C-alpha cells in the first residue's frame, strides 16, 4: 500500500517518488496533489462542470426531447442551489471558512442530485410498465419533497416541476439531495 500523499510530500523528495512509480500512478499522484492544494476551487469546478454539461445537452438539438428536459431540470436545480448558497455567503463575505464550507455543500449537493437522477433513470428504464413505474415515480418524488434543504417558502418556484406532467423529473428544486439519495438507496428494490 502507498503511504499517504501528505506523508510522501513532507518526507520524501518528489523526484524519488516519481522515479519509483509507473506513468499512470504519476498522473494520479499529480491529480491528487493538485486537488488537495485547491479543494474549494475543485469543488466549485465540479458544480460548474455538471452545470456546463447539463446546459450543453439541454441546448443540443440532436438529443431527444426527454433527454433535453432532464438536462434542463438539472441545470435549473443547480442554478437554484447556486442562488440559495450565494444568499448564505453574502451574509458573511469576510469569513473564508464559511465560504469554503458553502462551496463544499454546493459540491456535495450537486453530486448527490446527479446520482439521484441517474438512479431514478436507471430504475425507470428497468421497470416494467404501469404500476411498477408509478411506484418508482412516487418513491423518488416523496424523497424529494420530504427532504427540503433551504426550507424555501416560494412554493411556486420550488414546485415548478413537481406536478408538471410535461417533465419526467417531477421533483422539488428545494431538495436535500444527499438525504433524498440516501432515502431511495436504503429502499429494498
pLDDT band at 17 (very low <50, low <70, confident <90, very high): very low
Q: In this predicted structure, what is the pLDDT of residue 30?
A: 45
Mean pLDDT computed over 81-85: 95
What's the whole-number mean pLDDT along residues 28-33? 44
Please check whether residue 156 is in contact with residue 162, taking contact to mean a CB–CB distance below 8 angstroms. no
Per-residue pLDDT band for 31 (boundaries 50, 70, 90) equals very low
| Torsion angles phi and psi, residue 162, rounded to 5 | -55, -50
> Alpha-carbon torsion 180, 49, 39, 106, what sign?
negative
User: To which H or E segment does residue 187 belong?
Assistant: none
Domain boundaries, the chain: 5-37, 39-186
Whether the Cβ atoms of residue 177 and residue 116 lie closer than 8 Å to each other: yes
Q: What's residue 44's pLDDT?
A: 57
Q: Residues of the chain with pLDDT > 70: what percent?
A: 77
Cβ contacts of 77 within 8 Å, gap of 6 or more: 113, 171, 173, 175
User: Is the Cβ–Cβ distance between 162 and 170 less than 8 Å?
Assistant: yes
- Per residue in 175-186, pLDDT (tens digit) is 999 999 999 999
Q: Coil, helix or strand for 167?
A: coil
Return the DSSP state at 62. T
Half-sphere exposure of 6 (CA within 13 A, CB side): 2
pLDDT score for 189:
83
**What is the rounded distance in angstroms from the CA atom of residue 171 to the CA atom of residue 56?**
21
Residue 45 has pLDDT above 50, yes or no: yes
d(CA 96, CA 111): 23
Cβ contact 32:5 at 8 Å: yes
Amino acid at each position: 500500500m502507498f503511504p499517504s500523499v501528505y506523508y510522501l510530500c513532507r518526507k520524501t523528495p518528489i523526484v524519488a517518488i516519481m522515479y519509483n512509480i509507473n506513468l499512470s500512478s504519476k498522473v494520479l499522484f499529480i491529480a491528487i496533489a493538485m486537488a488537495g492544494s485547491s479543494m474549494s476551487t475543485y469543488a466549485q469546478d465540479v458544480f460548474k462542470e455538471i452545470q456546463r454539461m447539463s446546459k450543453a445537452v439541454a441546448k443540443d438539438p440532436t438529443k431527444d426531447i426527454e433527454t433535453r428536459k432532464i438536462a434542463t431540470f438539472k441545470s435549473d436545480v443547480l442554478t437554484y442551489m447556486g442562488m440559495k448558497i450565494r444568499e448564505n455567503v453574502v451574509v458573511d463575505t469576510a469569513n473564508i471558512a464559511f465560504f469554503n464550507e458553502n462551496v463544499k455543500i454546493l459540491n456535495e449537493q450537486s453530486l448527490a442530485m446527479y446520482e439521484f437522477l441517474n438512479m431514478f433513470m436507471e430504475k425507470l428504464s428497468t421497470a416494467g410498465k404501469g404500476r411498477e413505474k408509478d411506484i418508482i415515480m412516487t418513491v423518488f418524488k416523496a424523497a424529494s419533497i420530504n427532504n427540503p434543504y433551504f426550507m424555501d417558502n416560494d412554493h411556486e418556484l420550488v414546485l415548478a416541476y413537481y406536478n408538471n406532467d410535461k417533465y419526467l423529473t417531477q421533483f422539488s428544486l428545494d431538495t436535500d439531495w444527499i438525504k433524498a439519495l440516501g432515502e431511495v438507496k436504503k429502499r429494498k428494490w
